[in-house]
Structure 1
Amino acid sequence: MPKKDYVDVHETPAIQKLIPLSLQHLFAMFGATVLVPLLTGLDVSVALLTSGIGTLLFLLITKGKLPNYLGSSFAFIGPIITVSASHGVGTAMLGCFIAGLVYLIVALIVKSAGVEWLNRLLPPVVIASIIIVIGLSLSGVAVGWALNDPLSDAAKPAYSLGAVEVAFVTLAVTVIAMIFFRGFLSVLPILTGMIIGYIYTLVRHPEWIDLTSVARAPLFITPSMWMKEHFVTGQVLDAFTSPASWMAALIIAPVAFVTLAEHIGHLLVTANIMNRDLMRDPGLHRSLAGDGAAVVFASFLGGPPSTTYGENMGVLAITKVYSRAVIAGAACFAILFAFVGKIGAFLMTIPKPVLGGVTIVLFGIIAAQGMRMYVEHNIDFAHKRNMVVAAIVLVTGIGGFKLDFHEVTFSNFIANLTIDNIAMATFLGIVLHAVLPGKEVAFGDTKKNEQPHRQAS
């Protein structure tokens, strides 16, 4: 019997392995998760707390069978900024709360209707193309971090050979750790790359790392101090009692349908990585409910809405460590760091080129999983139908095709709504599959390329 080359969801590594594995997931998601509150004016500490607790809720609701980490969602940035500016942060959080309820309602519908309809809507050629889009649509972010001076204005980034140098060293160390390391170190390539990249930056470009914020940050924030300084729950409760706030908040609710498409795509990526049908066990309804519960909880406390994270799926694909204990450990560290001021401040000093170096690998690995799906399902691109579907999904998704509705008026409230590229690519893939003849070729021919599948735990 062949030796198992992965750590399954129900298995718990020894504590000396569990801690660095969990920290690796935390570091992978940290940059993007704290960027959302920084852009929207929300609190970073609250974002870390709600990210950690939201992930634990997600693990609980999905029966510990989905090793996904939940971080801050980028899809809500624009609506939160717009509503906060005109009606206050409490109203914006009320809108996110309603979006979370949309998730829960859809979860109930999916539980009642099953997933067969979804399998018909999303054949392998569409799913694989969406997975590639999810990975490569983020490539611009990774490359931008790797190319630009981290001290330059984000609105006008300046190219820097120094940034390229640091990103290349980080990337090289990560790849070397993935390919050549043996034993336990082989499953810590992201953590290894980030540590060496950080040290290299200190030596070559110390001006990029300002540790004064670490020195000023308190070692430990007491719960009473934390609640006084960080929570906006009172403002959210005030918005609950205001009809005007409800009308303004409803502008954010449709964003849930955009992130629903992203959620399904991420679940399909995770299923492909783990080589099992997660749509059925634990079920799409459970993953939607877990994500919705996390969004509801985060918005009530004033944190950004959460979503499953591509960065962490990349870590799963690289390490083949699917342990829910590792994800839970990362969540617990996020909660701890929300109260330990110096640690949170230190993590904020990680230079963008270091993050760029590791995310080039992480996002690329996700895209490679989609390509692997083409091969495993033996998708025949000699059929023009498959070529057309894949081509349109890939170009619109990776190219950033989206719909912007400027100055949408709703009950005397004007807002901007955006349907992002991933949602548009998914929609176009579904429509093309539905209207084009010859649907059977979209499902491939797995009999030509059968492989033993791992059984769900």
Structure 2
Amino acid sequence: MVEENNNMLLGVRDKPPAVNWVLLAIQHVCAMFGATILVPIVVNTTAGADVLSIPVALVTSGIGTLIYLLCTRGRSPVYLGSSFAFIAPMVAGYALAGKGSVFTALMIVGLLYFAISCIIRVSGKAWINKLLPPVIVGPMIMVIGLSLAPTAISEIGLDLPVIPLENLIVALVAFLTTAFLAVRGKGILRVIPFLIGIIAGYIVAAALGMVDFSQTLAANVIEIPKFYLPFMHYDLNFAAILTIVPIALVTIVEHIGDHKVLSEIIGRDLIEDPGLDRTLMGDGIATFCAALLGGPANTTYGENTSVVGMTRVASVYVIGLAAIIAIIFAFSGHLTALLTAIPAPVLGGISVLLYGFICVNGLKILIQNQVDFNNTKNVVVVATMLVLGLGGATLALAYGDLSLAMSGMSLAAIVGIVLNLAIPEEKHE
């Protein structure tokens, strides 16, 4: 039976024919693949160490999606992938206290989602809008995007006295391919511009002799992902927790926004059925389990929402099969080696657009919600958040042997929330 929206070819609970089922699932895998693998690649490049594993990110993405579908009782066709919002906090957390502290903090993020879902079930969701209005969420997302900008510049080599010509060529190919498809692409190509951009840049880099395929040829056909188990190697570090966990406040708002968009596509309010408490619980348990295995935090993927709108198929069976395919891909040794060998200029060309898109999304939130910047209170809140978030501010407190530190995005988020609640509304004459 097709769901409430008559425009949908297949509803949430419908099973497509076997061949279509596989083809539709592959489209969803293509949509999530580029972004999901880009998170561990960017984190590792920025940190200068192997903090995250690409195969583990794929596995935890698939497992997280299946957990979400169970928690929502198969009533919400959402795919969960690696969250970009936590890239900079994870790098900062690693610099503070190592990998164990990063995954412990991400597990706490999952627990925070779960706790908030329980509060919503009891008291409703109106308080979230008061705690996190657009004037807080908009600049927070802008800080997330702009704080990563130096990484893109460094990957291309634009911070060098003389940039190698091949770096510039590869970065331009990746950048222009992604930009063209994002603007003029049709069908599935418009949904996966970053993935196609990576492939185009990779091909050109290989032609210029910038790719070493020796590891790919030496890889095994099947390789077990290198799971990292925080309960065996974890490190509870409060500075890392305060750096990473507050970003969850922003991703919760992102979670709500993505579900509202999908609700409009399928013609049923997912915030009411299965309910925000269930969707947030699924996201939280998925993130907890991802961190438990050494993967990045999960989040709802707008790319897959676009696939639902484009194909007019909202079947959770398709989403579930896509999750299983992603898990299978993670065990391919050759695929992992190919992805690990992506040259930095390819990533840099992609990242110029990617980080810019993240920043502009924050700006769109301010514009779409008509945040009034004639109101001095709004100016104070946004200006303070941008300066603290982008200026590298750090607040460290020590009492005896106990020390706490907040920096960058986390400090900006907390200060912004406090200012917005504490400053009285402006009175006009």
Partner of 1:455: none
Change in CA separation of 1:128 and 1:231 when aligned onto 2, cut-off 3 Å: closer
**For residues 413-446 of structure 1, what are the alpha-carbon distances to aligned partners after superposition, in whole Å with 9 as ceiling and x for unaligned?**
xx8x5534332222222222212222799xxxxx
| Equivalent-residue separation in structure 1 for 2:356 and 2:307 (angstroms) | 11
Correspondences of 1:40-79 after superposition (within 5 Å)? 45-62=55-72, 63-64=75-76, 66-70=78-82, 73-74=86-87, 75-76=89-90
Q: Structure 1 residue aligned with 2:408, among 418, 421, 433?
A: 421
| Equivalent-residue separation in structure 1 for 2:227 and 2:369 (angstroms) | 49
**For residues 106-163 of structure 1, what are the alpha-carbon distances to aligned partners after superposition, in whole Å with 9 as ceiling and x for unaligned?**
43233323221221222222232223233333333333323369xxxxxx99954432
| Equivalent-residue separation in structure 1 for 2:296 and 2:399 (angstroms) | 23
Q: Structure 2 residue aligned with 1:258, among 246, 251, 254?
A: 246
How far did residue 170 of structure 1 move? 1.0
2:401 match: secondary structure: strand
Partner of 2:166: 162
Partner of 2:220: 218
**What amino acid sits opposite 2:209 in the alignment?**
P
Q: Structure 2 residue aligned with 1:378, among 355, 360, 370?
A: 370
**For residues 58-112 of structure 1, what are the alpha-carbon distances to aligned partners after superposition, in whole Å with 9 as ceiling and x for unaligned?**
3443542544423595445665687679xxx6x9867765664444334323332
Change in CA separation of 1:249 and 1:40 when aligned onto 2, cut-off 3 Å: farther
Establish whether residue 118 from structure 1 lines up as the match of residue 128 from structure 2. Answer: yes
The answer to whether the 8 Å contact 1:124/1:377 transfers is yes
The answer to whether the 8 Å contact 2:103/2:291 transfers is yes
Change in CA separation of 1:334 and 1:115 when aligned onto 2, cut-off 3 Å: same
Partner of 2:298: 307
**For residues 199-246 of structure 1, what are the alpha-carbon distances to aligned partners after superposition, in whole Å with 9 as ceiling and x for unaligned?**
11112x323x1111111111024xxxx4xx84566x836x8xxxxx8x
**What amino acid sits opposite 1:64 in the alignment?**
S
The answer to whether the 8 Å contact 1:258/1:423 transfers is yes
1:419 match: secondary structure: strand
Change in CA separation of 1:118 and 1:132 when aligned onto 2, cut-off 3 Å: same
The answer to whether the 8 Å contact 1:130/1:265 transfers is no
Establish whether residue 236 from structure 1 lines up as the match of residue 231 from structure 2. Answer: yes
The answer to whether the 8 Å contact 1:314/1:363 transfers is no
**What amino acid sits opposite 2:415 in the alignment?**
L
**What amino acid sits opposite 1:431 in the alignment?**
V
1:166 match: secondary structure: helix
Partner of 2:326: 334
Query: What's the % identity of the aligned pairs?
Result: 30
| Equivalent-residue separation in structure 2 for 1:193 and 1:43 (angstroms) | 22
Correspondences of 1:3-402 after superposition (within 5 Å)? 15-16=22-23, 18-33=25-40, 39=49, 45-62=55-72, 63-64=75-76, 66-70=78-82, 73-74=86-87, 75-76=89-90, 97=107, 100-147=110-157, 160-203=164-207, 205-207=208-210, 209-221=211-223, 226=224, 230=226, 236=231, 249=236, 251=238, 257-267=245-255, 270=258, 284-301=276-293, 303-308=294-299, 313=302, 328=320, 331-402=323-394
1:378 match: secondary structure: coil
Partner of 1:437: 424
Change in CA separation of 1:133 and 1:273 when aligned onto 2, cut-off 3 Å: farther
| Equivalent-residue separation in structure 1 for 2:172 and 2:419 (angstroms) | 40
**For residues 357-416 of structure 1, what are the alpha-carbon distances to aligned partners after superposition, in whole Å with 9 as ceiling and x for unaligned?**
223223322332332233322223222222222222233223443445689835xxxx8x
Partner of 1:446: none
| Equivalent-residue separation in structure 2 for 1:327 and 1:104 (angstroms) | 22
The answer to whether the 8 Å contact 1:267/1:278 transfers is no
**What amino acid sits opposite 2:329 in the alignment?**
F
Change in CA separation of 1:143 and 1:314 when aligned onto 2, cut-off 3 Å: farther
1:360 match: secondary structure: helix
1:69 match: secondary structure: strand
| Equivalent-residue separation in structure 2 for 1:327 and 1:274 (angstroms) | 14
The answer to whether the 8 Å contact 2:28/2:307 transfers is no
The answer to whether the 8 Å contact 1:65/1:282 transfers is no
| Equivalent-residue separation in structure 1 for 2:63 and 2:380 (angstroms) | 42
**What amino acid sits opposite 1:266 in the alignment?**
E
1:28 match: secondary structure: helix
Change in CA separation of 1:285 and 1:130 when aligned onto 2, cut-off 3 Å: farther
**What amino acid sits opposite 1:176 in the alignment?**
F
- Normalised by the length of structure 1, the TM-score is 0.71
2:372 match: secondary structure: coil
How far did residue 57 of structure 1 move? 1.7
How far did residue 53 of structure 1 move? 1.0
Partner of 1:445: none
1:206 match: secondary structure: coil
**What amino acid sits opposite 2:251 in the alignment?**
H
**What amino acid sits opposite 1:114 in the alignment?**
G
Q: Which runs of 5+ in 1 are unaligned?
A: 150-155, 240-244, 442-457
Q: Tell me which moved more, 75-84 or 126-135.
A: 75-84
How far did residue 39 of structure 1 move? 3.3
Change in CA separation of 1:269 and 1:206 when aligned onto 2, cut-off 3 Å: farther
2:298 match: secondary structure: strand
1:110 match: secondary structure: helix
| Equivalent-residue separation in structure 1 for 2:357 and 2:327 (angstroms) | 28
- Normalised by the length of structure 2, the TM-score is 0.75
Q: CA RMSD in A?
A: 4.4
The answer to whether the 8 Å contact 2:93/2:244 transfers is no
